[in-house]
Structure 1
Amino acid sequence: MAKESVRLGTVQETLLIPLYGRALDAKARRPILRDDRARAMVESIDYDFAKFRGPSLGGSVLRSAIFDGWVARFLAEHPDGTVIELGAGLSTRSHRLDNGRARWFDLDLPDTVQLRRRFFTDSERTTALAASVLDTDWFEQVARTGGPYFFVSEAVLLYFREEQVRSVVRALAGRFPGACLSFDTGGGAMMRNQDRNPVFKAVDARMTWTCDDPKSLEDWGLRLRESRTFATPQPDVGRTWPRRHRYGMPLLARLVPPAVNSYRMNLFSLEKAE
């Protein structure tokens, strides 16, 4: 059977890194996400995934688990809620966590959505949106569900300029006040060491936005509710991790703090900026 060819933009190509990470995790003796769908996609895509190496592959799985924990908690509290993935790539979150009642939107650029539609079909409750995170035209389609809303953006905003991220946040806060928004931030230590990261030696894209303190973003129309690192996942999430991560990450954070603490997964509430 012929494999699926891939034609993606420079930044969009990075979506293949977490996809491969989840596929490797699915093959592990004790998988964290058990994402067999990611494994099947990797096996059917014509791409040299083996060029991706290093700890970022496993890190992408831990990151997804942390975001999954917040989305799962939201759906436990709001089973009929709406989850919007900003920069969905080939994320399988809507399949991993679906409760049979929630409404899901997977938003990404047209080339990525075209690839996504080779593997995922829209349904009554799941819709792929071909649009930029910087656009606002898609707001009304999402708003028609009535909410409540949970926006999740994983490994996406880091590639934007700070003023672009601020614009996205303020637009969302203006239209969806009270909604949840989760995204990751990278401090200076992480940004300065990108070229030493083995996965970035395989792609041309580089992260742009540096944020050392997620609390500082509250001026944008946000309220910080939680900020996690690989060493401090939600307790219920951490209990599902193998011992090497459960105990190894806190140890690494003590030995080399910037290596772990510079990268954070954050949960915010959207509030209109003054």
Structure 2
Amino acid sequence: MSEKISPETVSVLSSTMLIPLWAKAVEQGRAQPLLRDDEAVRMLDKIDYDFSKFAKVKASQVGCCGRAKLLDDMTRHFIAEHPDAVVVQIGAGLDARYERLGRPRITAWYDLDLPEVIEVRRMLLPESDNHYLGASMFDEAWMNTVAAHGKPVLLVIEGVLMYFEEAQVQDFFKQVARRLPHAQLAFDTIPKAYIGQSKRHDALGKMDKPPEFRWAISGTDDIRRLISGVEIIEEAGLSSVCKPRYPWLLRLVYATAWGRRKLDMRLMRIQVPSS
């Protein structure tokens, strides 16, 4: 692709896709980046957009990279446990996790998003040995495709679930348990203090109409209430990797047990039962 694309010509290029991409590309200029992502730099260069508006966005820049790193690590752990795995990245957007992980030689890797997002993704990051699926995460057709492999399944869901109502998240978990019994999910969550606060978010707040945060948890008990029989395999707080890079006030907050309990984003890997 020789010409750059922009949100004016490709409306699906929303800030919720561009902010994480920008964050990872900027991170590559640091002496010790939280993660390596050459594809983010390459893709950013193909987008005609004024990214300078995010120049002072400090917490979300490191937060996006820390979140991606923790989910990358959980994905690595799953693949180490299941070398014949099938991995599905849900709400893939412009994230290059497959490439960051060295294009793992597993049974199959799928990147799933809405059809119009997948079209743009193909423009900026064509498939290699992975496969793209243009569908809603609630569409059972892709689940049937994944189930047909008959292999251990990991669903990686980054920056997605907090924009749905709790009932929708619960329905999705139950749908996975029914169609992909014993599948594992690696995902991020926000604390309940974030609900209704997207306009105060340092990056999303720069949008005219930022999407609302709708689903949040207080702890793993909230996950267990959503779907009985779930197993929590891994859990980590975002501040565990980001705190040294946060602005000083956030560093003070996350230095306290109260701050970590009430205000820290949580990432976890779980296994659903069979329904």
TM-score band w.r.t. shorter chain: 0.7 to 0.9
Structure 1 partner of 2:195? 191
> Could you tell me which residue of structure 1 aligns to residue 160 of structure 2?
156
1:134 and 2:142 aligned? no
DSSP-derived class of the 1:80 partner: coil
- 1:151-230 to structure 2, matched below 5 A, reads 151-203=155-207, 204=209, 205-221=211-227, 222-230=230-238
Q: Is the 8 A contact 1:21 1:60 kept in 2?
A: yes
Structure 2: stretches of 5+ with no match in the other structure = none
Tell me the residue number matched to 1:235: none
Alpha-carbon RMSD across the aligned residues, in angstroms, is: 2.5
The 1:140–1:73 alpha-carbon spacing in structure 2 relative to 1, beyond 3 Å, is same
Candidates 35, 59, 74, aligned match of 1:33: 35
Equivalent residues in 2 for 1:1-274, closer than 5 Å = 1-6=2-7, 7-9=10-12, 13-52=15-54, 53-97=57-101, 98-123=103-128, 125-203=129-207, 204=209, 205-221=211-227, 222-232=230-240, 244=245, 252-255=253-256, 257=259, 261-273=263-275
Counterpart amino acid of residue 59 in structure 1: G
Offset of 1:226 from its aligned partner?
2.4
Match of 1:182, SS? strand
- Rounded to whole Å, the distance in 1 between the matches of 2:236 and 2:158 is 13
Q: TM-score, normalised by structure 2?
A: 0.86
Unmatched tracts of structure 1, length 5 or more? 233-237
Equivalent-residue separation in structure 2 for 1:242 and 1:55 (angstroms): 9
Matched residue SS, 2:44: helix
> Residue 261 of structure 1: CA displacement?
3.9
C-alpha distance after superposition, 1:93-152 (max 9, x if no partner)? 1111122334110000112111100123334x4111000112212111112222211111
Aligned length: 263
Q: Distance in 1 between matches of 2:183 and 2:62?
A: 30
The superposition leaves residues 2-36 of structure 1 with CA deviations (integer Å, 9 ceiling, x where unpaired) of 212333459x5402111111001112121121111
| SS of residue in 2 equivalent to 1:2 | coil
CA contact (8 A) 2:112 2:133 kept: yes
**What secondary structure does 2:45 align onto?**
helix
3-state SS, counterpart of residue 74 of structure 2: helix
Q: Secondary structure at the match of 1:206?
A: coil
Q: Identity across aligned pairs (percent)?
A: 31
CA change 1:157–1:8 in 2 (3 A) is: farther
Deviation at 1:171, TM superposition (A): 0.3
Distance 1:129 1:112, change over 3 A: same
Q: For the residues of structure 2 that align with 1:8 and 1:109, how far apart are their CA atoms?
A: 13
CA-CA distance at 1:244 after TM superposition: 4.4
Give the structure-1-normalised TM-score.
Answer: 0.86
